[in-house]
Chain A
């Protein structure tokens, strides 16, 4: 296996969108390419937490999806532990798991049923019940939620189950796409604590997308600031603050872009 966890060389991604200009008749729509990710070069070494900071539409989720083999880049090569995400996708998937902002579950099923499903897909079903209980307790979830339908759980609890599910499959690379977005401060803190514990206990590489600057400063060894599909800065949080003579990462981002991390839409993807 390669020494780097992630190697990205000239990766580019755009999406075709059909738009109707203001005042144009309903049938007149024009197709345009919206660039989600400009040519990107990036290497992430094994171990540690690398943060990707940027507003919505900055290309963070597109990058995560490419590494998760869910999107094909238009150009360039992306490798995870030396395996190409397009031509060796199955090898990549064996070492990667993803926690996304939307907890992707069968909502009628219980955490236990969802996690058994995950364990079977990842070939790690031995002693699952005990491990599931252990992981859920580690995340501060009460034992009785394990057999309740997911739809009865709070958003924070669902997100913790999503994280527990990713731990169950023991990934070497964990892609976390805004895992604490929408969580209350207490749940957010618990998730962050678990991530710190995980980082201390296991050989794992974490790529953490967030627009929470404090979270990035607290958890990440390295931070990439992205905007408009481009990487604007890449260094440790302390070095970034030092280089731009800023009190916070928010101030660094302001310095680089002239704006705050306000909400912007992801490039719309084509509907067929």
Chain B
């Protein structure tokens, strides 16, 4: 039993380490993506800076708060979408490289495989977001004096759980369709951006989209982060949001692993693992 656990742990680390090797080789691309992330977040910050010239104003309008609101959305979306897509793309990447069959016939539980991919994606996402955050703080002189760090970290940690479930669920798509799965992953990501309150409160959305936003874990991550960073909500005040995120994760992870197992079995029945096109 201990031997099996050690082997699974070794494999878990092996998947994360493999991703690290791949990223080291593609470091130029990573520099380009990092630049793109920084530019995207800064654009949102400058958009907020320009709101005054676009007519937003009045006594009730708090420019600094609006800027922080948008930047938190941009930063957190950058992190969540990166983790989400890294994990989702892990399967598509194996198709491009032609290694998918080798990985799928390895003596490793599928949960270990998927968790290993997510482990790297979370670490990488945090590192990249930290760099973007430093750039944003330096340029916009952001004021986090009201922020509650522990409350923020509690939400960030809890957000990882449903995020893993969502990422695994999306990685099912390239298994279902070798040719269209990747594009479908983008569609899912885009829909989450629309309904999760990244740049606006859910209340501005039409009712059907609001309902979709209510079941998106990213909605709770974003709302929780804003409460801690803008209003100083501590761990105690964040417990209900943490509970919602963990509950969503407790449902999403088993469901996503089951969905992945079903898709893997289907791919083996139809002979889809072999195809790379």
Binds B, one of A4-12, A45-53, A64-72: A64-72
A244: CB under 8 A from chain B? no
- Residue B140 interfacial (CB < 8 Å): no
Name the one of A70, A93, A98, A123 contacting B10, with C-beta atoms under 8 angstroms. A123
Does residue B21 face the partner (Cβ distance < 8 Å to A)? yes
Q: What chain B residues lie within 8 Å of A108 (beta carbons)?
A: 22, 25-26
User: Closest Cβ of chain B: how far from A210's Cβ, in Å?
Assistant: 19
A104 with B99: in contact, given A125-B10, A271-B178, A272-B179 (CB under 8 Å)?
yes
Contact A105 B97 (CB under 8 A): yes
Q: Could you say which residues of chain B place their CB within 8 Å of the CB of A106?
A: 18, 21-22, 97, 99
Q: Give the bracket for the number of chain B residues in contact with chain A.
A: 35 or more
Are B105 and A69 neighbours in the complex by a CB distance under 8 Å?
Answer: yes
Q: How far is the CA of A98 from the CA of B275 in the complex (A)?
A: 17
Q: How far is the CB of A60 from chain B (nearest CB, A)?
A: 14
| Residue-wise interface mask of B (1-39) relative to A, using a CB-CB cutoff of 8 A (1 in contact, 0 not) | 001001100110110011001100110000000000000
Are B104's CB and A70's CB within 8 A? yes
Are A109 and B10 touching (Cβ within 8 A)? no
Q: Which residues of A contact B18 (CB under 8 A)?
A: 106, 109, 113, 117
Give every chain A residue within 8 A of B179 (Cβ-Cβ). 271-272
Q: Given A113, A122, A271, which contacts B106 in the complex, CB threshold below 8 Å?
A: A122
Give the docked Cα–Cα distance between A102 and B273 (Å). Answer: 14
Whole-angstrom CA separation of A105 from B102 in the bound complex: 9
With contacts A90-B107, A96-B105, A120-B10 taken as known, whether A72 is within 8 angstroms of B268 at the C-beta atoms is: yes
Q: Which residues between 256 and 270 of chain B lie within 8 Å of chain A, taking CB atoms?
A: 265, 268-270
| Minimum distance in angstroms from A222 CB to a CB of chain B | 24
Q: Which residues of A contact B (CB under 8 A)?
A: 15-16, 65, 68-72, 90, 93-94, 96, 98, 100, 102, 104-109, 113, 116-123, 125, 149, 269-272
Interface residues of B (CB under 8 A from A): 3, 6-7, 10-11, 13-14, 17-18, 21-22, 25-26, 97-99, 101-109, 176-180, 265, 268-275, 277
